[in-house]
Structure 1
Amino acid sequence: MKLKYILGTALLGSLSFSSCMEDFSDVNTDPSIITTPDIRYLFTQGLNDFIPSDYWSWYYDFTNMLHWGQVTVSGNTNLLNQPANSSGIGNVVRILKVMREIDYQVESMTDPVKAAQYKHIQSMMKTLVVFMGIQDTDMYGSMPYSEAAMARYTTPALLTPKYDTQEELFTSFDEDLKNAFEVLSNPVVVDGNNVNQMSLGYQDYVYQGDSKKWATFCNSLRLKVAVRLLHVNKEKALQIANEVASHSEYLLTSNGDNCSNNFVYNQGSEWYHSQEDPAPGYGTKVLVDFMVENKDPRVRFFFAKNDLNSKVVQAFFDSEAELGEKCESKIPDFIMDKVDYEVVNGKKVFKGWKAPGEPWVRYYGMPLTINASSDEAYTDYYDPTGKLHKVQLNGTELSYEVASALQMEMYEGNRDYTYPDAPGAEIVQDKTDRPFYAMYFSAGEVNLYLAELKLIGANLPQSAQTYFNDGIKNSVEAWDYIAGANHIPYYDTPFDSNEATIDLKDGEVDALLTKEAYQLNGVDDLEKVYIQQRLNFIFMPNDMYVSMRRSGVPTKDSKYLKFENFSKDGSDYILPRRFPMFAGNPTDLNYNNYEQALKDQGFTIGSGAENLNSERVWYDKGAPEFGAGPNF
């Protein structure tokens, strides 16, 4: 396991970009070597390296967070048998080094007007670095930041950057965002004259160089800082919220057309995000049931339909009729309860779905109890013999998934999907590779932060109910857009005549807002806000887990969405509140700073559950225990 955050020696690799080649006819230099890169393309390189949810994150850290956070279940006997991998989260260095080079190139310019043309690009890059920096420190605490990636630009070379404490980091993050916002939201002036900013156009494939949208993203991102400070500096957190809201024209509170206000990330038509196949597992029964019972459309975007469509249900019936007592396959009772059928000539014939009908009858979660797969009470779910969910028909044998896995076409654009059908039927697949769309920051997130901060005491212009309603509406509509952009199965095309598409329907959001768990009425209001943050963050597992950690929601005594015991006997299962730190190598240049940072934080080396639960990062101190609920 490599030592985390040894950033001091990080250098930019090649600065040669084919698109910024110039005429070298008058220069006695190899044209393949560029010593002064085009800053616009450096920005694009930084944007390309901005990947908050890469393969390693999902394969290790995020998958574990989803398990610990009671979003998914894999049937593992021990949820901690794959400790977090420090190569997963910890990617700020990739864009920090690009920011350093942009700053260096601008500061090296002798013409102040020319240098001033890049102030917006510098501030945009700084905003990206802060975003990644927050994610890096969330589960690890102290890290190099203020002195990181400076070796190339210092004499002598700074090879041992200090570890900024998490308190110092969040002070820096907030100041960096404030300064970037001031630049992005005001004219850049040199000698009394406004300086036009260098245009990025589609070199910026998120906001196309729109400084107003970048300023809005930057200002609103301060709320991500604010909510993390609530347990260690509540006054500062509320102050940040008030300052952010005072710039109402730069507040990300609406999605915009085609989610154009949100930070929607797509590198291009041939970017599929990952070539690998992490499998976080099935949705938990407690979570999927909550979403289905409330008819929350997001369950359709976050989780996959199970395999038991009407054709497969009929195949189970046909196999039963054909094999008689020899038939070992069985439709689970929880699915049969939703099937309307008649008996014709001694054989069951599918007629339709009972309430609530398609598509809701195709979403089922798995029990999250450890070792549930070997518990007879859950035989219908896990099929321990491997025979119940397998159908023999037409000389063919097929197995079917009765529960809903996390919808990983919301993670990867080149996955193939085989539509479930009866054994022996013609195979129908969707093998079209699609450009992948991710959403890393949104109006839904911002409004839900504002609702939380309003309830805790921030002096904000709108009511908590308004922010809450807007947050839910924005979240549902934005994830609907992302599901459509990623062309997940069944989004707008059914497979058989008894199926419904899963795209957002008229009136669904209005109906959702009438549900008790989706209304602020003076009862459990903070818990309800945190439940909505949790739902909004399902495909941003780091933020989901941070929200769960700092809020204590879901709660063990909830009337809406419970935190369930992992152990069947009801005993507590120890969950980590930070990720493991590993022994450093004394030969590493920054070994002493690393060791001192661990000592100062009181962190023990290794992945022992008790230590990872009790040894908290700075801003987590004072937060409630998991499942205990808000303590404000």
Structure 2
Amino acid sequence: MKSHKLLLAALAFGSALMTTGCRDDFSEMNQDPSAVTTGNISFLFAEAVNRFDPQPYLEYYYNAPMKYAWAGMGLSTSGASESILTLTIDGDQARQYISVLRVLRAMEAEYEKLSDEDKALNDVYMSAANIMSIYMGIFATDMYGAIPYVEACNAAYGGSLTPGFDSVESLYNLWLEQLNSSISTFTSSEAVMKADQDVVYGGDKAKWAKFANSLKLRIAVRLLSQNEAKAKQIASEVESASCGYLNSLDEDVRFHKGDVRLTGDQGYVNDRIYHWSNGFTGCAGTESVINFMVDNRDPRVRFFYKKNYWNSKIVQGYYDAGLAIPDFIEKDVVYEVGADGKKDFVRWGGPGEPWVRYHGITEAWMASTDNTGKYKWFFPSSYPNADKELYLHNSDGGNATGYTVYSTLNQMMIIGRQYTSASEVSTATLPDDTYTYTTNDRPWYGMYLSAAEVNLYLAEFAMLNGDENKAKTHYDRALSFSVQSYDALAEANQVTYYSTVQGSFGYDPNEGAIDLKDGEIDEMMSHDAYAFTGTAQEKLEKIYLQEMIHFTLYPNEVYVTARRSGYPSYNSTILPRAQYSEVPATSIPRRFPTGAITDDDLSGDVKRAAYAEQGLTVTSSGLYNTVLASERLWQDNGAPQWGAGR
């Protein structure tokens, strides 16, 4: 959870090691030997962390709307339509694992040149880099199944330019062995891992061992449909391991890569510090999910999603203009009617601020094209009378301004940047108003594995083993950790409306801070939908639902959890999934396209053979229905259909 300047030092190696192309062949996984620079292993490790980005810009910008919709946990801001099935990109960004693997190969080459004594001093860095590479590899196999890994990125060191594919099963076995080896290294090596060369854990080898041990659970849950016995064995080994697992807030894998924005042609560095600056996807929480969280007073709704734009000033602006406001907003407004017959905002009613500012987008089918006015507040551009009824204007009758009624993903939890407009920090102003907002640089903190996630997995395995008492212990602990972790992450990321953020909170005198407050976790857990009660099946469902809620900011983990569990269920009495006859479960993709194979692809034959062995049709983004919905990756075989539950 620390930040250091080593990221900048690593650039000397990164510029030589990390040039990548966009061609759809394996040249991107290998290098010309003349381009390889000799480097200090600890510096190369820093570059591996620097390149570690499992869900970068393209994942959120293109894939996130699809993954949330396919999982039944979110929607694009265009609403529910047949576009749910549309693939906008082949998803090659999942091959981001290559970036870290390439650095690992350079480290391995340098490591082999060392004396035994020097190897002993550097084995901890090798193990840590290997963990980062495995983490990235799991993500890639989630989307594509078999990938080139064992032979990949080795051409510069005498390996093949056309590396073979490794099956998911073989990679899981390999990675489990490597994680065990890393644990052994961290717990037995006397080497010192320098604090200023480790932005992840500040050189704490004990925490690295727990990270490695805990990461095994991500493999275990993905094995459940293929080899439940082995999955349970892995979970048991994780829980009983002497090194321990992530089980406290200060053990979360949560860190940022730097603090100082560089000027000039330094996009490479700045994208590591701020995650990216290209923009953000339009993803919104659904009415079902956000209502579920608000009704059960889940504080995480305030960290995952942005407040809508309907603060008390906007409400009063509509009242002053003599315009109606949405019923679902006005139900929580306490107002008085003046002598002029107009309403005056008095205070928020209902659950009060900030809860009243979180609403999901409608899940109604094709609501975005409805021109009757039924869904006008969600899609005002489709409503013929929007200018007169839905928009406010300035004193000159211009500057027509609409205000989003639903909550989108909180981009400030996913990217950092220097903000230059009020809209970027999720504030709302009347057409004649101006607003002074913070313009301070805001480096990004990411969370990649947490004590909450680990305890949710252990709760899941406890239920599958029939031990409900143990499951409850892990479940209760996981939810408490989850809320606290995201509260800390929101503060670190200087999210708007967090009380410690200067220049954004306090704009509206009726605004409520989003900080976690005393007693809120206990209140959340007192609600039936969150309490670990009910039948064994209901308890297991609650675990899966909480896994997906915990993963709200991580579209791939939401997608994978829904795919392997069958939740949210269409028939749930806790959090039912929206069902559309136009988009049956059998038409929703279960994998991403392989990408087209061109005639000049050096590894074309290798790819075709690998896909054929997995029973996968070579697909581009245009083939998404029958092929991607019916052909499953190895780890997905035997998993429930979408919405069927386990």
Structures share fold, TM-score greater than 0.5: yes
1:81 alignment partner in structure 2? 86
Which whole-Å deviations, capped at 9, do the CAs of 1:305-325 have from their partners, x for residues lacking one?
Answer: 1111111111001111xxxxx
**One-letter code of the match for 1:530?**
Y
Which whole-Å deviations, capped at 9, do the CAs of 1:225-253 have from their partners, x for residues lacking one?
Answer: 10000110111101111111112542101
Aligned with 1:609 (options 614, 618, 625): 625
2:153 alignment partner in structure 1? 149
1:349 alignment partner in structure 2? 344
2:476 alignment partner in structure 1? 469
1:191 alignment partner in structure 2? none
Partner of 2:526: helix, strand, or coil?
Answer: coil
**One-letter code of the match for 2:168?**
Q
Partner of 1:361: helix, strand, or coil?
Answer: helix
**One-letter code of the match for 1:373?**
S
In structure 1, C-alpha distance between the alignment counterparts of 2:245 and 2:193, rounded to whole Å = 23
| Structure 2 unaligned spans of 5+ | 1-21, 262-272, 500-504
In structure 2, C-alpha distance between the alignment counterparts of 1:56 and 1:47, rounded to whole Å = 19
Deviation at 1:374? Answer: 2.1
Contact residue 4 and residue 90 of structure 1 kept, 8 A: no
Aligned with 1:489 (options 483, 496, 501): 496
Aligned with 2:539 (options 520, 525, 546): 525
Which whole-Å deviations, capped at 9, do the CAs of 1:525-568 have from their partners, x for residues lacking one?
Answer: 1110000000111111111110000000100111111110245x
Question: Is 1:536–2:550 an aligned residue pair?
Answer: yes
2:42 alignment partner in structure 1? 40
**Alpha-carbon distance change, 139 to 501 in structure 1, aligned in 2, over 3 angstroms:** same
**Alpha-carbon distance change, 90 to 391 in structure 1, aligned in 2, over 3 angstroms:** same
In structure 2, C-alpha distance between the alignment counterparts of 1:74 and 1:311, rounded to whole Å = 24
Aligned with 1:432 (options 440, 448, 454): 440
Partner of 1:264: helix, strand, or coil?
Answer: strand
1:126 alignment partner in structure 2? 130
Question: Is 1:587–2:600 an aligned residue pair?
Answer: yes
In structure 2, C-alpha distance between the alignment counterparts of 1:464 and 1:352, rounded to whole Å = 42
**Alpha-carbon distance change, 572 to 340 in structure 1, aligned in 2, over 3 angstroms:** same
**One-letter code of the match for 1:551?**
S
1:24 alignment partner in structure 2? none
Partner of 1:288: helix, strand, or coil?
Answer: helix
**Alpha-carbon distance change, 372 to 13 in structure 1, aligned in 2, over 3 angstroms:** farther
- RMSD, aligned α-carbons: 2.0
Deviation at 1:11? Answer: 5.8
**One-letter code of the match for 1:390?**
Y
**Alpha-carbon distance change, 571 to 597 in structure 1, aligned in 2, over 3 angstroms:** closer
In structure 2, C-alpha distance between the alignment counterparts of 1:547 and 1:573, rounded to whole Å = 17
2:324 alignment partner in structure 1? 330
In structure 1, C-alpha distance between the alignment counterparts of 2:435 and 2:470, rounded to whole Å = 53
Deviation at 1:5? Answer: 5.7
Q: How do 1:279-428 and structure 2 match up within 5 A? A: 279-320=281-322, 329-345=323-339, 346-375=341-370, 376=372, 377-383=374-380, 384-385=382-383, 386-387=386-387, 388-395=389-396, 396=398, 397-414=400-417, 415=419, 416-418=421-423, 419-428=427-436
- Name whichever structure is richer in helix by fraction: 2
2:224 alignment partner in structure 1? 230
Which whole-Å deviations, capped at 9, do the CAs of 1:310-348 have from their partners, x for residues lacking one?
Answer: 11111001111xxxxxxxx43111111111111111221
Deviation at 1:481? Answer: 0.7
In structure 1, C-alpha distance between the alignment counterparts of 2:242 and 2:64, rounded to whole Å = 34
List structure 1 runs of 4+ shifted beyond 6 angstroms: none
**Alpha-carbon distance change, 8 to 422 in structure 1, aligned in 2, over 3 angstroms:** closer
1:29 alignment partner in structure 2? none
**Alpha-carbon distance change, 239 to 201 in structure 1, aligned in 2, over 3 angstroms:** same
Contact residue 447 and residue 467 of structure 1 kept, 8 A: yes
In structure 2, C-alpha distance between the alignment counterparts of 1:13 and 1:96, rounded to whole Å = 19
2:121 alignment partner in structure 1? 117
In structure 2, C-alpha distance between the alignment counterparts of 1:337 and 1:282, rounded to whole Å = 22
Partner of 1:439: helix, strand, or coil?
Answer: strand
In structure 1, C-alpha distance between the alignment counterparts of 2:584 and 2:29, rounded to whole Å = 45
Question: Is 1:620–2:636 an aligned residue pair?
Answer: yes
| Structure 1 unaligned spans of 5+ | 16-34, 188-195, 321-328
Partner of 2:644: helix, strand, or coil?
Answer: coil
1:101 alignment partner in structure 2? 106
Deviation at 1:398? Answer: 2.1
Structure 1 window deviating more from structure 2 (620-629 vs 169-178): it is 169-178
Contact residue 287 and residue 360 of structure 2 kept, 8 A: yes
**Alpha-carbon distance change, 158 to 284 in structure 1, aligned in 2, over 3 angstroms:** same
In structure 2, C-alpha distance between the alignment counterparts of 1:464 and 1:93, rounded to whole Å = 37
**Alpha-carbon distance change, 423 to 214 in structure 1, aligned in 2, over 3 angstroms:** same
In structure 1, C-alpha distance between the alignment counterparts of 2:42 and 2:639, rounded to whole Å = 42
**Alpha-carbon distance change, 10 to 539 in structure 1, aligned in 2, over 3 angstroms:** farther
Deviation at 1:126? Answer: 0.7
1:214 alignment partner in structure 2? 208
**Alpha-carbon distance change, 105 to 572 in structure 1, aligned in 2, over 3 angstroms:** closer
2:53 alignment partner in structure 1? 51
Deviation at 1:81? Answer: 2.8
In structure 2, C-alpha distance between the alignment counterparts of 1:80 and 1:50, rounded to whole Å = 30
- Taking structure 1 as the reference length, the TM-score comes to 0.89
1:180 alignment partner in structure 2? 182
**Greater Rg, structure 1 or structure 2?**
1
Contact residue 315 and residue 423 of structure 1 kept, 8 A: no
Deviation at 1:87? Answer: 2.4
Contact residue 12 and residue 101 of structure 1 kept, 8 A: no
Deviation at 1:430? Answer: 3.1
Which whole-Å deviations, capped at 9, do the CAs of 1:469-518 have from their partners, x for residues lacking one?
Answer: 11111111101111111111111133222111011001001111111121
In structure 1, C-alpha distance between the alignment counterparts of 2:545 and 2:375, rounded to whole Å = 27
Partner of 1:391: helix, strand, or coil?
Answer: coil
**One-letter code of the match for 1:247?**
A
Aligned with 1:504 (options 512, 516, 533): 516
In structure 1, C-alpha distance between the alignment counterparts of 2:299 and 2:26, rounded to whole Å = 40
Partner of 1:340: helix, strand, or coil?
Answer: strand
**One-letter code of the match for 2:343?**
K
Contact residue 465 and residue 519 of structure 1 kept, 8 A: no
Contact residue 226 and residue 241 of structure 1 kept, 8 A: yes
Contact residue 587 and residue 629 of structure 2 kept, 8 A: yes
Contact residue 555 and residue 628 of structure 1 kept, 8 A: yes
In structure 1, C-alpha distance between the alignment counterparts of 2:624 and 2:125, rounded to whole Å = 44
Partner of 1:598: helix, strand, or coil?
Answer: helix
1:72 alignment partner in structure 2? 75
**One-letter code of the match for 1:430?**
T
Partner of 1:351: helix, strand, or coil?
Answer: strand
Partner of 1:341: helix, strand, or coil?
Answer: strand
Contact residue 409 and residue 553 of structure 2 kept, 8 A: no
**One-letter code of the match for 1:495?**
Y
- Taking structure 2 as the reference length, the TM-score comes to 0.87
Contact residue 8 and residue 160 of structure 1 kept, 8 A: no
Structure 1 window deviating more from structure 2 (331-340 vs 415-424): it is 415-424
In structure 1, C-alpha distance between the alignment counterparts of 2:25 and 2:156, rounded to whole Å = 20
**Alpha-carbon distance change, 11 to 507 in structure 1, aligned in 2, over 3 angstroms:** farther
Contact residue 206 and residue 243 of structure 2 kept, 8 A: no
Percent identical pairs in the alignment equals 36
1:22 alignment partner in structure 2? none
Which whole-Å deviations, capped at 9, do the CAs of 1:573-599 have from their partners, x for residues lacking one?
Answer: 721100011221233322211110110
